Amino acid sequence: MGILHAVSASLLDRDGLRERIGVELAAFLAERAAELAEISADLGSVATTIRDFVLDGGKRLRPAFGYWGWRGAGGTATSDAAVVRAVAALELVHAGALIHDDVMDGSATRRGAASVHERFADLHRSSAWTGAPAGFGRAAAILLGDLTLVWADEMLASARLSIESVGRARPAYDAMRTEVMAGQYLDVLAQAQPSVTASQALRVARYKSAKYTVERPLHLGGLLHGCSTALLDCYSAYGVPVGEAFQLRDDLLGVYGDPGVTGKPAGDDLREGKRTALIALALEHGSNSEVAVVQRLLGDPLLDDAGVATLRAAIDDSGAPARVEALITERLDRGVVALAGGQVEPVAAAVLAGLAEMSATRHA
């Protein structure tokens, strides 16, 4: 793990990108905090919670794909903050989506810390306010997610890029937002079905993850610079399979990942009963007894460590993890091949190949 981790960290850090994204986000959020402070001192906890949530965590993967989409179209490495500011807006979209996702799932933690609705429920409790802390926390988190989403949009529009450039890129940004919410709805819908096929799970992954995390950020970056339709097609041919591989790896990490590395409690995906491609494949290909174990234990919110171990073993024995690994490899290969056509500027192509590898083989 050490080597891959080092590779991925350095890739996400090329051109000092990670730090520059953080600087832009911090500056933008400080402006917003000042705007809120003018309205009322009571909004201090809103501003600091969003700032902490955005600045304390996250791989900055979507801004990175946005940046390399711009580089791949011929953008040159530069200290100019405008493009970095524009793509950093993707991190705010993502923060808003995560804040709402945690409310929808009732998740108490995110990135190893309390989720936003839990932080506000705690504020309610420690302040001894009236009413239900949980209801207050949920209401606050819905509003904070809304605020973060609309701020994303404001951040993109306020980047010091030409109006033409932003106007050109906007359709990709708009499509991305509709697709991620559509994908999220399809996911919620899938979780409410008695069973989900692997192909249904992959469709959710395509919209909720692949297009949102990889393809559309690349399009956004390419269009900010100005690029050919051929380059956009190349970004799709790379981005969709690589993004699906990213999600398939996420499914595996949700069941077999090391909580100390992922920041997610072990077994939570199993207790929650997430209907991923991994689970669908276990149900499609497992023996009768393996299928029976999955059907009996998956989605049991009170599943203890022994139950988690039993369920993991049944999924393992069904051969589903190996099938998912094969799907990941096939997608990774397909994505990397798409880069070989010479459309993408060489340095960017090399970084994107590395990011594909990282997305497919990461441990957190």
Give the residues lining the site for a copy of itself (CB under 8 A).
32, 35-36, 39-40, 42-43, 46, 96-97, 100, 103-104, 106, 124, 129-131, 135-136, 138-140, 142-147, 149-151, 153-154, 157, 163-164, 167, 170, 174-175, 177-179, 181-186, 188-189, 191-194, 203, 207
Write the CB contacts of 289 (distance below 8 Å, at least 6 apart in sequence). 314
Q: How far is the CB of 28 from a copy of itself (least distance, A)?
A: 12
Phi-psi region of 220 (alpha: psi -120 to 50; beta: other; left: phi over 0): alpha
Give first-to-last CA distance, the chain, whole Å.
10
Minimum CB distance to a copy of itself smaller for 72 or for 96 = 96
Whether 215 contacts 241, CB under 8 Å: no
Q: How far is the CB of 354 from a copy of itself (least distance, A)?
A: 30
Q: How far is the CB of 272 from a copy of itself (least distance, A)?
A: 11
Q: How far is the CB of 313 from a copy of itself (least distance, A)?
A: 25
Minimum CB distance to a copy of itself smaller for 189 or for 230 = 189
Minimum CB distance to a copy of itself smaller for 148 or for 343 = 148
| Closest to 73 measured CA to CA, from 292, 281, 233 | 233
Minimum CB distance to a copy of itself smaller for 240 or for 328 = 240
Minimum CB distance to a copy of itself smaller for 72 or for 145 = 145
Q: Give the bridge partners for 114, in sequence order.
A: 109
Long-range contacts of residues 117-123, Cβ cutoff 8 Å, at least 24 apart: 117/141, 119/49, 120/45, 120/49, 120/144, 123/45
Q: How far is the CB of 136 from a copy of itself (least distance, A)?
A: 5
Other Cβ atoms less than 10 A from the Cβ of 244: the count is: 29
Minimum CB distance to a copy of itself smaller for 158 or for 361 = 158
Write the CB contacts of 244 (distance below 8 Å, at least 6 apart in sequence). 202, 205, 206, 209, 210, 327, 331
Q: How far is the CB of 280 from a copy of itself (least distance, A)?
A: 15
Q: How far is the CB of 364 from a copy of itself (least distance, A)?
A: 26
Q: How far is the CB of 140 from a copy of itself (least distance, A)?
A: 6
- From CA 355, how far away is CA 361, in angstroms rounded? 10
| Closest to 70 measured CA to CA, from 218, 170, 212 | 218
- From CA 56, how far away is CA 139, in angstroms rounded? 23
- From CA 108, how far away is CA 126, in angstroms rounded? 17
- From CA 135, how far away is CA 149, in angstroms rounded? 21
Q: How far is the CB of 57 from a copy of itself (least distance, A)?
A: 21
Minimum CB distance to a copy of itself smaller for 140 or for 332 = 140
3-state secondary structure of 31: helix
Minimum CB distance to a copy of itself smaller for 198 or for 355 = 198
Write the CB contacts of 65 (distance below 8 Å, at least 6 apart in sequence). 213, 214, 217, 218, 221, 239, 355
Minimum CB distance to a copy of itself smaller for 261 or for 292 = 292
